[in-house]
C-alpha cells in the first residue's frame, strides 16, 4: 500500500499543530514546527486567507488521519465502522483509532512513534494473547495482553524507547510492566482520556455532506 515517505515535519506545519510523528524529537528544541510554524512551500509565510467551512473540516480530517498514519481509504473504513456503532460517531471514530495495535504499542512506550510501532508489528516482534500478530490495524479488545516477543526483547530500539517511559504518565486505558516489556489494553478509552487535540465532529460533518 502506498504511504507518504516525505519529511513528516512538513505535515505538522501543514496542519498548524504538532502531530508527534517523530517521537522524542517532537518534544525537543529540534522540532521543526517549533522553529517554523508557517505552512510549507515557497509562499507559506505570506499565506493570509480565511478558510471556508469545508476547508476547516478538511484540515481537521487530514490532521487526525495523519496523526494515526492512515491512508484515505483506511480512514474512511474506520469512519463507516464508527457510524454503525452506538454512541457519538466522532468519539467512536477516535476510540477505534486508539484501539489499533500499533497505537497501543506507542501509548505503552514500546516504540517512540506510531510508525516505529507499525514496523515492530509488521516484522512480527509483537504478540497479542501469546500469539504473533503482524497486522498494525488489529483492533484490541479490553483485557488483551500485548508483549514484545521473547527473542525480540534485546532490540536496541525497544530498550531505548522503554528508557523514556514514565509509567505514571501512561494513558489510563493501558497498563505496562517495563521489566517484562508487556502490557494490557484495559478498556476502550473515553474521549476525555484520549490525549490528542482534534475536533472529530468536523470529520462527521465533512463525511455527512
Q: In terms of DSSP bridges, do strands 145-148 and 182-185 run parallel, antiparallel, or are they unpaired?
A: antiparallel
Instruction: Tell me the H-state helices in the chain.
Output: 9-15, 32-35, 53-67, 72-83, 89-98, 101-108, 114-122, 156-163, 200-207
The residue among 88, 52, 119, 194 whose CA lies nearest residue 111 is 119
Exposed/middle/buried for 96, CB within 10 Å: 0-12, 13-18, 19+?
A: buried
Distance of CA 29 to the CA centre of its chain: 22
The CATH fold assigned to 9-97 is Ribosomal Protein S4 Delta 41; Chain A, domain 1 (1.10.1050)
Q: What is the pLDDT of residue 1?
A: 45
Residue with cell 528508557: 163
Q: Answer whether 112's CB lies under 8 Å from 164's CB.
A: yes
pTM reported for the whole predicted model: 0.80
The dotted CATH code for 100-185 is 3.10.290.10
Dihedral pair phi/psi, residue 128, rounded to 5°: -120, 120
For residue 51, how many C-alpha atoms fall within 13 Å in the half-sphere facing its CB? 9
How far is residue 194's CA from residue 192's CA, in Å, rounded to a whole number?
6
Cα–Cα distance measured from residue 109 to residue 181, given in angstroms and rounded to the nearest whole number: 9
Full pLDDT tens readout for the chain, 209 residues = 456 555 665 665 565 666 656 556 555 555 555 556 566 655 455 555 677 889 889 989 998 998 999 999 999 999 999 999 999 999 999 999 999 999 999 999 999 889 999 999 999 999 999 999 999 999 999 999 999 999 898 888 888 888 888 766 789 999 999 888 999 999 999 999 999 988 999 999 999 97
Q: Sign of dihedral through CA atoms 167, 66, 155, 104?
A: positive
Contact 124, 104 (CB under 8 A): no
At residue 33, the pLDDT reads: 52
Burial of 6 (0-12, 13-18, 19+ CB in 10 A): exposed
Could you tell me the residue ranges of all domains in the chain? 9-97, 100-185
Amino acid at each position: 500500500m502506498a504511504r507518504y515517505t516525505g519529511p513528516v515535519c512538513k505535515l505538522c506545519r501543514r496542519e498548524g499543530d504538532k502531530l508527534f510523528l517523530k517521537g522524542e524529537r517532537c518534544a525537543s528544541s529540534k522540532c521543526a514546527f517549533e522553529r517554523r510554524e508557517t505552512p510549507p512551500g515557497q509562499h507559506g509565510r505570506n499565506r493570509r486567507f480565511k478558510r471556508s467551512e469545508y476547508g476547516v473540516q478538511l484540515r481537521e480530517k487530514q490532521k487526525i488521519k495523519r496523526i494515526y498514519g492512515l491512508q484515505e481509504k483506511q480512514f474512511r473504513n474506520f469512519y463507516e465502522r464508527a457510524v454503525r456503532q452506538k454512541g457519538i460517531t466522532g468519539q467512536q471514530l477516535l476510540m477505534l483509532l486508539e484501539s489499533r495495535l500499533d497505537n497501543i504499542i506507542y501509548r505503552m512506550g514500546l516504540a517512540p512513534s506510531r510508525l516505529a510501532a507499525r514496523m515492530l508489528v509488521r516484522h512480527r516482534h509483537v504478540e497479542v494473547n501469546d500469539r504473533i500478530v503482524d497486522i498494525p490495524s488489529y483492533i484490541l479488545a479490553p483485557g488483551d495482553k500485548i508483549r514484545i516477543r521473547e527473542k525480540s526483547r534485546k532490540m536496541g530500539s525497544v530498550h531505548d524507547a522503554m528508557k523514556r517511559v514514565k509509567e505514571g504518565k501512561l494513558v489510563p486505558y493501558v497498563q505496562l510492566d517495563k521489566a517484562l516489556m508487556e502490557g494490557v489494553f484495559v478498556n476502550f478509552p473515553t474521549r476525555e482520556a484520549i490525549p490528542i487535540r482534534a475536533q472529530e465532529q468536523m470529520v462527521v460533518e465533512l463525511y455527512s455532506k
